[in-house]
Amino acid sequence: MNIEEISEKLSWLPPSFARFIEKRVKKIPAFKKMIDAENEKAMSVLEHSLRPYDGKFDKHISLPSTGVSREKILSDIQHMHDVESVKWKEGFVSGGIYHGDNEHIDFLNKVYALQSQSNPLHSDLFPSATKFEAEIVSMAAHMHGKGKTPDNAQVCGTVTSGGTESILVAMKSYRDRAREEKGITEPEMILPTTAHAAFDKASQYFNIKQVKIPVTGNYSADISALKRAINNNTIVIVGSAPSFPHGTFDPIKEMSDIALKNGIGFHTDCCLGGFVVPFAEKLGYKVPVVDFRLQGVTSMSVDTHKYGYAAKGTSVVLYRTEELRHYQFYTLTEWPGGLYFSPTLAGSRPGALSAACWAAMLAMGEEGYLKATKSILETAEKIKEGVKAIPEIKILGEPVWIFAFASDTINIYEVLDQMTRKHWNLNGLHKPACFHIALTLRHTQQGVAERFIHDLKESVAHVKANPGNKEGLAPVYGMAASLPFRGMVSDILKKYLDVIYKL
């Protein structure tokens, strides 16, 4: 019996019992040998894609005895850049690169160069960083309801290193507030199963129990399940606007109203939607209100380095009040090194990234964001219409510009493999089995949407004519999606990370 057969026979197991069984069968030599063989097979498929430069560039296992010339270093980096930029420049990549125009990139690079030595930790030495970050936060706050709230909320926040850190520090703030003000020592967060993985990370890092609620057939949070999940230890409820997997919106108004009624914090994860939703609303598209205009919303995460078109490495976390933000701040008063304080997880931070973010927001302006959003949403409509002509493929839920594709009749991972062979870089997902594309400005280029639909049709036709392909990543995705032993899947992911750092 192989892993696939075992997965099929044990697919009915509840997660807790599967973990119980896994701990015991792992001790059986024959099963351990089978697991090792599957791991090796999976890694052999993945390693080739992760290490395309083997044999093409010098490897530096230890410091060179004498410095490598700057010309050689720049030449190697330029070569890698030229190879890697082809896919995203031509619009083959889901998300990842959100703007990508050469003039925009050159502009941000010039700003970065001017501020390359800046460090917001030393605000006395680099007051420019203070200006940049305060204005970034203020602009984001006004985009999301500041000045339009029923309670004239302060709406404040900080700049962080990305959406994950924005989520982490927000969850830490709720944990600390609940402990300080309510004496809650066993905190719980309620979130839909589709919420971003960063909330799982926050749960592990800050010892906050996760209470996962299901999503409806429309892939948005189940309100009835939310009401049942609330208890005296609940410190925060989370909703996505939209979610990463399927691009669908949770019912933020209903969820935040429930939070408000129960005296619980509510966090809108708007990392993906933060620079699309406000402008889609102004353009007249049917998008829900998800920000501080809803009185129950007490915090938000908004990524500037996605559809804000800043350089990678910045995000904003927003709070309804300064009081809640204070629980994010770190201060140390008794250190021999002096008084120490920092707003986020990091101490030293690259002020150049904040400068580039500030510059991107100013250069785009409201007009630029409106134009970009309009182009993306028009492209989304083309793809929606194109998929309707492919009966084997369906779009999950009711997304706006991030689409998850699934199938009831063919192996969707084999379709994904075929799309990969056609140079598309898309995201494989599971629960349910699907893959998605997050549309960006790269996809608004002439002919890209049409090429995507054409390639998707061809890929579906190929899989229908040649089902059961055992090559590529399809078997790996399939095993990861169906295997009841999640510890084994976790082992595969850790080995994947090992490969990244392997020489």
Q: Map out the domains of the chain with their CATH numbers.
A: 3-50+477-500 (no CATH), 114-361 (3.40.640.10)
Cα gap 354→362, rounded to integer Å? 12
Answer whether 190's CB lies under 8 Å from 222's CB: no
Q: How confident is the model at residue 495 (pLDDT cuts 50, 70, 90)?
A: confident
* pLDDT value, residue 28: 58
Quick check: helix, strand or coil at residue 212?
Answer: strand
Q: How confident is the model at residue 431 (pLDDT cuts 50, 70, 90)?
A: confident
DSSP-derived pairing of the beta strands 402-406 and 434-438? antiparallel
Cα gap 194→238, rounded to integer Å? 10
Residue predicted with more confidence, 297 or 24? 297
Cα gap 212→193, rounded to integer Å? 6
* pLDDT value, residue 186: 98
Secondary-structure breakdown of the chain: helix, strand, coil percentages, each rounded to the nearest 5 = 50, 10, 40
The 8-class DSSP code of residue 178 comes to I
pLDDT above 70 coverage of the chain, percent: 86
Looking at residues 362-384, what average pLDDT do you find? 98
Please check the confidence at residue 482 and state whether its pLDDT lies above 80. Answer: no
Residue pLDDT, tens place only, 96-121: 999 999 999 999 999 999 999 999 99
Residue pLDDT, tens place only, 269-304: 999 999 999 999 999 999 999 999 999 999 999 999
Residue pLDDT, tens place only, 50-89: 778 888 999 999 999 999 999 999 999 999 999 999 889 9
When the pLDDT of each residue in the chain is averaged and rounded to a whole number, the result is 91
* pLDDT value, residue 369: 98
pTM of the model: 0.90
Indicate the range of 3-17, 152-166, 455-469 predicted with least confidence: 3-17
* pLDDT value, residue 498: 79
Answer whether 431's CB lies under 8 Å from 243's CB: no
* Neighbouring C-beta atoms of residue 193, cutoff 10 Å: 14
Task: Write down the H helix ranges in 389-447.
Answer: 412-421
Looking at residues 8-35, what average pLDDT do you find? 57
Please check the confidence at residue 127 and state whether its pLDDT lies above 80. Answer: yes
* pLDDT value, residue 469: 73
C-alpha distances (whole Å) from 331 to each of 300, 326, 344, 357 are: 23, 10, 11, 26
Q: Is 293 left (phi over 0), alpha (psi -120 to 50) or beta?
A: alpha
Residue pLDDT, tens place only, 299-329: 999 999 999 999 999 999 999 999 999 999 9
* pLDDT value, residue 302: 98
